[in-house]
Amino acid sequence: MFGISFLTASGAARRSPVAPPLGVRHVALLRRGRRNGSITRFITPWDIAELSQPFVFLGYSEPASGSQMLLTAPPPFGIARLTLVLSGALTFEDPSGTSGMLTAGGYHWITRDETGWHDSGGVGGTRLRAFQLWLGLPLSQRNAAAESQRVAAHEVQEEGAVRVVLGQFGHARSRLANAPPDVNYFHVRLKQGHHWRYTAPEGHNVTWLAVDRGGLTLQAGERVHREQLALFGDSPGAIEMQAVGDTSFVLGSARRSSHPLVLGDDWPDDTTLAPGEQTLQGGRRPRVQHRG
């Protein structure tokens, strides 16, 4: 679907200088996340979500200091939100009045979301770092009762360098009670020079990774630097990588949704919405529709 063209960090398209060997899944698109204050947006509904859905939004937050409202724009109907804390801590309060704290390695999943998030101001002097993912729910789950689950760090299963948030890797499985089927979402940590290999399950034609620390050298010589996202082509095969420095990244893979993503008329372009904003300019709220 994508061929072997990809984007450099500057956004200029070029060809991969070395044809990847057969059986290797190559990079189709390499792009730098768009930073807005403390938020870096890798995937948004107005740019590449048609290629990456059911993953329709991915944002990374690393505030400078101080307690502030974070990641507060709620997803539209039919889209769940998963907040993963990498370091520091977040406190939250949902519409029912339930409140709690997420510390490093833990995550929170909610299917109908008006949750307010706050930086706790640092735990033990550790700066907050967190990813937020919006995931389109399958039709069978969109009209189900709202669900909310917090998974503490010590409950997250690991296989080597991989912490499994959604899906399965090796013997490690997600601890989410009603996780969407056929979706993997991992947090991977590699030491300098260490290698890692990922082969997506059969049928997973959407695979991407986003780096928040360090960098990666991929099998055909492509480099993925900090705050860049690599989206891989549809063809099956393995993704081989080596860490450049101590590296942290998230990786998602799934079967591409067969239901086209349709933006509502009031959805803005990417200059007006950041996940830390409670409303859009003019007080409008974001809206996404899924046909089908």
Q: How far apart are CA 74 and CA 282, in angstroms?
A: 17
pLDDT the model gives residue 118: 55
CATH architecture of the domain with range 1-32+156-257:
Sandwich (2.60)
Rg (CA), the chain: 18
For 69-79, b/e burial (b = at least 16 CB within 10 A) is ebbbbbbbebb
Min mean pLDDT across 7-21, 32-46, 118-132 is at: 7-21
Who has greater pLDDT, 75 or 120?
A: 75
- From residue 215, how far is each of 110, 194, 210, 226, 267 by CA, in Å? 30, 11, 10, 6, 33
pLDDT the model gives residue 258: 73
Average pLDDT of the segment spanning 66-89: 73
Who has greater pLDDT, 270 or 248?
A: 248
Q: How far apart are CA 86 and CA 243, in angstroms?
A: 18
Check for a shared fold between 1-32+156-257 and 36-153+262-292.
yes
Both tokens of residue 1?
Answer: 């679907």
pLDDT at 117 over 60: no
Residue ranges per domain, the chain? 1-32+156-257, 36-153+262-292
- CATH fold of 36-153+262-292, please? Jelly Rolls (2.60.120)
Beta-bridge partner residues of 32: 228
Count, residues in the chain: 292
pLDDT the model gives residue 14: 40
Q: Where residue 94 falls among pLDDT bands split at 50, 70, 90? A: low
Q: How far apart are CA 266 and CA 125, in angstroms?
A: 41
Both tokens of residue 126?
Answer: 């550790």
pLDDT at 114 over 80: no
pLDDT at 19 over 50: no
- Burial (CB count within 10 angstroms: exposed 0-12, middle 13-18, buried 19+), residue 224: buried
- What pLDDT, in 10s, does the model give residues 47-66? 888 899 999 999 998 876 65
Q: What is the chain's mean pLDDT, rounded?
A: 77
User: What residue spans of 205-268 are helical by DSSP H?
Assistant: none
For residue 31, the one-letter residue type is R
Average pLDDT of the segment spanning 83-108: 82
Q: How far apart are CA 6 and CA 52, in angstroms?
A: 15
- From residue 176, how far is each of 147, 184, 205, 263 by CA, in Å? 11, 12, 23, 29
Reduced to 3 states, what is the DSSP secondary structure of residue 172?
A: strand
pLDDT at 211 over 60: yes
Q: How far apart are CA 28 and CA 23, in angstroms?
A: 15
Q: How far apart are CA 40 and CA 249, in angstroms?
A: 14
- From residue 80, how far is each of 27, 157, 291 by CA, in Å? 27, 21, 17
Contact status, residue 113 vs residue 58, Cβ threshold 8 Å: no
